[in-house]
Amino acid sequence: MDGVSESTPRSSRAQQRIDTQERILTAARQLFADAGYDRTTIRAIAAAAQVDAGLVMHYFGSKEQLFALATRTETPLVTGETPEEVAEQLLGVLRQSLIEEPIGSLAVLRSMLTHPDAAAEVGNAHAERVKVSKAIPGADGNLRAAVVSAILIGVVLGRHLIKLDELADADPEQIVELLRPAVLSLTKADQPE
């Protein structure tokens, strides 16, 4: 039954390699999020992972490739049908991002602004817009979706990165409540005047 019992011992070497790689990735994610791409050095990542800098290179090839792997993030789902459902799902994503720092996204966001190649990742990290735009009716659905994304990015950024005092200290639920009308006004189609 257990075909790997003898040929691949679960610990000691194969596993330790994987553990070490994961330790490096975790340290990289955290440091990239805290300090951005440029200010994060391979040596610092190695130190945080209690490893030599050369090993990081050996495993990941270059700082560039390590960054790409460390900041890969799965995009949240937006599957709602009605504007209200879409709005609630977006607010749910926001709530989660306010409660705990979305480390991968922060790393990308922070780095994107100084590191050219990171910008490409944003289309990926926030590809939710694509789905959002399909869920928002009207000819300007795409634009509305982009504006909503920008708003959410701005608020998350204001809380975790810029750390605007009021935003950083406030109750997440209160922020969500304040934003509900704003998000709703954007997920609903134009109403003729």
Partner DNA sequence: GCTTTCATTCAACGGATGTAGAACGGTTCA
Partner DNA sequence: TGAACCGTTCTACATCCGTTGAATGAAAGC
CB of 29 to DNA, least distance (A): 15
Which residue number, 110 or 160, has a Cβ lying nearer to DNA? 110
**Shortest separation between residue 190's beta carbon and a copy of itself, angstroms:** 9
What is the rounded distance in angstroms from the CA atom of residue 95 to the CA atom of residue 80? 17
Helices (H), the chain: 14-39, 42-48, 53-60, 63-70, 83-99, 103-112, 119-125, 128-135, 141-156, 165-169, 172-187
According to CB under 8 A, which one of 96, 163, 173, 189 is a site residue for a copy of itself?
163
Give the Cα separation of 178 and 193 in Å (integer): 25
Q: Is 22 in the site for DNA (CB under 7 A)?
A: no
Return the structure tokens found at 55: 């090993």
Q: Which of residues 53-82 bind DNA (CB under 7 A)?
A: 53-55, 57-58, 61-64
Q: How far is the CB of 173 from DNA (least distance, A)?
A: 39
Q: How many CA atoms within 13 Å lie on the side-chain side of 146?
A: 6
Q: 76 vs 158, which CB is nearer to a copy of itself?
A: 158
The whole-angstrom separation of Cα 37 and Cα 161 is 14
Burial call 147-182: b when 16+ CB within 10 Å, e when fewer = bbbebbbebbbebbbeeeeebeeeeeeebbeebeee
Candidate segments 7-15, 63-71, 76-84, 163-171, binder of a copy of itself by CB under 8 A = 163-171
Indicate which single residue of 1, 31, 50, 109 sits in contact with DNA (rule: CB under 7 A). Answer: 50
Q: Which does 13 bind (CB under 5 to 8 A by kind): DNA, a copy of itself, none?
A: DNA
Which positions from 34 through 53 interact with a copy of itself, judged by CB under 8 A? 35-39
Which residues lie near a copy of itself (CB under 8 A)? 35-39, 109-115, 119, 122, 129, 140, 142-147, 149-155, 157-159, 161-167, 170, 174-175, 178-179, 181-183, 185-186
